[in-house]
Structure 1
């Protein structure tokens, strides 16, 4: 799927006027939360004890790894002159930690970062 998106992006007539944008969804698209779901206390959703607070704690750790294929797409788009926009369901109070996690994972720049 990512290879198809990269091939499509390469066919675009990018104007290089700064108005060419690509929207990425953060949660399970640019950043993976699989390490969180794999934790014994979460059990891939098998437990239901205060999952929301546990997930917020995970976000606050800033340890979500990049989804490698999407990171490759992101890098290709930057090379083509397309500006990324990131959208997340993460609450506004976690904006700074989520943005820092994005940078740590390799997504170092964007046009906008939009939280819930």
Structure 2
């Protein structure tokens, strides 16, 4: 797959957004929930200003959507594929911590499956 510099630069921006533990916690919470800020605060155990700031960043990069209903704004995960990528990274980290070999040693093995 040939990848343009513009595409790579956008991917790097998303990786930077995902380099924050609080944002990942929020994304995992929103995987199966539509919630307002108060509900997110209660479930991810982070202060409200931090949650609001992280949601703004996630929204800016189209990782969450928001919808105003009455006086509340509800957030939900915009693209579930983003968590598949995070899950893959967590799998990688898990292998590293345990000192186990990775299921696919190289791209040839991956492509032959």
The TM-score with structure 1 as length reference comes to 0.23
Max Rg structure: 2
Q: Which has the higher contact order (CA 8 A, sep 6+)?
A: 1
Give the structure with the larger helix fraction.
Answer: 2
